[in-house]
Structure 1
Amino acid sequence: EDMPHISHSWGSELRYDYWDGEEWHIETVDEEGRYPSSIAVNSSDFPCIAYAHTYGLKYAHWDGNQWNIDIICGGLVDADRALIIDSDDRPHISFQNNECLEYAYFDGIDWNIEVVDSNGDVGRYAAIGLDSRGNPHISYYDDHPNYHLKYAWYGPDNDITLLSFTADASKPSAVNLRWSISADEGDDILGFNLYRRELKEGAIHKLRIRPKDVGEAPVRENYNSPLQRDNLPEWHKVNSTTITGTNPYSYTDTGVAENTQYEYKLEAVMGGDSGETLGTTTVETGEPASFGIVRLYPNPTSDIVNCVLRVPEPCEVDIAIYDISGREVSEERFSVENAGKTEVFLDISGFVDGVYTITAYLNNECESRRIVVAK
């Protein structure tokens, strides 16, 4: 929507400022976030911020209702860090920690941290980008004693590019996997291997900030997230012989259980005993069509919002609207007669100008989007 978003320190606090088309709004994200930060927005136009506290690295993101804060790691994290959000809305962060350049990324399950460069006092003034494969590229400064500008990147040495990798649970006990690649004729690809692991519930320690009423301080609480855990299971090879064929490729895995979430890893088999991991994908067997908000329009609006929903079956959907303080200002239930896409209309003619969050609820699922009311 071409609206500016700013993160900055104010005393000992981390603050977030944004322009809604009419005026600036200022929020306190974390009372312990005084150091310089890096901000990006995801596909829902929600802000995501990487920053440091006294001893360590933090990541805050707005989910439509509240700020959620991850404590990624401890250490002597310097003021220089950079954040980018990939096409799957997953964060990637480069930062200096104890005079080393480190790289942190969220894989959808857990945070992963790697030391990129530890040769000298390295990692200052870092900037990060992602290539078409989602691999990180980082520019940074090598301070004392070398005083060099450096560039680090991650990726294979050959020219294999994974164009697509999908998993479809068309049957409760079978998963159809499809992938396509782009490779130079000189690449010595003998075939592919597939690996599978089951994603079970677990938890890691996180910090959540609940929305506050006007004039009240943020409320912090510890909670366990079912989407994250300390230890992931081992990978198990799916195919007994190397998968060959023509591009695009396919394979059906019949060794899965119903109503279970799996992650798959695709490996290219190269000459000799070498192999290269090309990518991963996830699927849940027996999963119905997904639920969510497809589109809100017009946005900004003054009187009516058209809300396009996607539902897996005939159902009743609750839609709530929250103002910028997190206070619910409207709630309505809609009966949907058919699965797929449907459109409902929300009357916001009585709302004052500002930014609002629309959240759709179906059973234990919900999705949020922001709208701007401007009259």
Structure 2
Amino acid sequence: MRSTPLHPVARLPEEWSTSLASRGERAFTAKQVFHWIHRRGVLDPAAMTNLPARLREHLAAEGLGEVLTPERVHRSEDGTRKLLLRLRDGATIETVLLPSVSGPGSQAQLDADAGDDDEDDDAADAGAAPRVRVTQCISTQVGCAMGCGFCASGVAGLKRHLGAEEIAGQVLLGRAMLEEGEELRNVVYMGMGEPLHNYEATARSLRLLTHPEGINLSTRRVTVSTSGLVPEIARLGADFGGQIALAISLHAADDETRSALMPINRKYPLDELLAALRAYPLPRRRRITIEYTLVAGQNDDPAEARRLAKLLRGLPVKINLIPMNPIEASSLGPPGHERVAAFQEVLTQAGYSCFVRRRRGDDVSAACGQLVLLGATPKVRRALG
């Protein structure tokens, strides 16, 4: 049973219908309210001009309003923007906008990161004028409990879960901050926190963001990344029929190495994780994204690439190699370019679609693994011993 009332921004249309019907409002009013919030991005009841004054007063009394405030925008030389957001309780999170101009090859990496296997849109766009497509990377927790050795988000541990309104609110805000000629194309749950550790809020935010009466994001353009919470992977597949793109932070092909890099592997080792991936109900022509952070001296040997190729055999996957982005709280770092290329070559020769993720926004600490809790101090030692 829910212990606290559902925030207005987190309500689905059917919940608005129930809530407003009890106040004697007409049936279509529920859709109007949801449109204002999730299609138009308006959270101030006073600005909802086609609603009765009494209803606007009621919405304000219920707490409808901004759930997060942009405090700082860090702009990278490559166009990436990292937004520092302040929540109502004073906590901070970060979200990242990653723009890329469409055209042959230019969008391929962002689409690969976002689980986009559909070719129809690219074919349809072939004769259109170039446009700037934006992928937004969003957070699901203040901090993180997973403690991965190559990631800054868990430096101070988990402070709290985000509500669905705070997760979806990042996209509402990010969409409002798009620049001329930009469009929001993909949303990736790859920011601060482990999305499946905060399952209920993550699932509700997915329903909000993909609802046809709201932003109406295609499910193939929304990717949830997880460090490998096996029961919740099964739950996500069942709840959404496999329509939500899945990305797995794998980072090693044997349990010993993976447990050293990712403590969650001690609870859900590779054989259990791989079984969950085989059971995930993928639609036709869709693949699971395997994220593999290359850490110098830990998991970057060509022999490890051969083990990875064997481990993933038979699974519909594509592989994103991510040379580790340096973080202040760890002495670990990326391998050299030749080492990365050799690792990729092994996987390509084994028949896998394998990309090396281009570093984006690292000059403003917006790259993969660099989002951090403002003012955080290390809770655990980050280097491997």
TM-score (norm 1): 0.22
Larger radius of gyration: 1
Determine which structure has greater relative contact order: mean sequence separation of CA pairs < 8 Å that are 6+ residues apart, divided by chain length: 2
Larger % of helix: which?
Answer: 2
TM-score (norm 2): 0.22
